Amino acid sequence: MSADQHAVLLAKRPKPQRRDVNHMLLIVVAFKLGQDWSPEQISQWLRRTYPEDASMRLSHEAIYHQRSGRTMRIPRTPG
């Protein structure tokens, strides 16, 4: 397989997202959203609560997308 073919395979979208793979993370984030926590608060809380577990981290942007129901960013075309 050439490097170009390999790059194309790696760039396929949508990639599985951490919140879709780690069900415990999804439950925790949904619970905190239900308590009216902001995505920034949840993201920082996850970092403090699970400092050694990188699989339990999620950016506030990803949490915002979960809250708003958006699944993928739609790029704007110039012009």
pLDDT tens digits, one per residue of 51-77: 999 889 989 998 888 766 554 455 566
> Which tokens sit at 32?
């905190």
Residue 72 pLDDT: 46
Domain segments of the chain as ranges: 17-68
Are 17 and 7 within 8 A, CB to CB?
Answer: no
Single pTM value for the model: 0.63
Model confidence pLDDT, tens digit, residues 4-23? 888 887 777 666 666 567 88
Is 37 in a helix, a strand, or coil?
coil
Angle of CA points 60, 62, 68, to nearest 5°: 100
Among residues 27, 13, 14, which one has the least CA distance to residue 58?
27
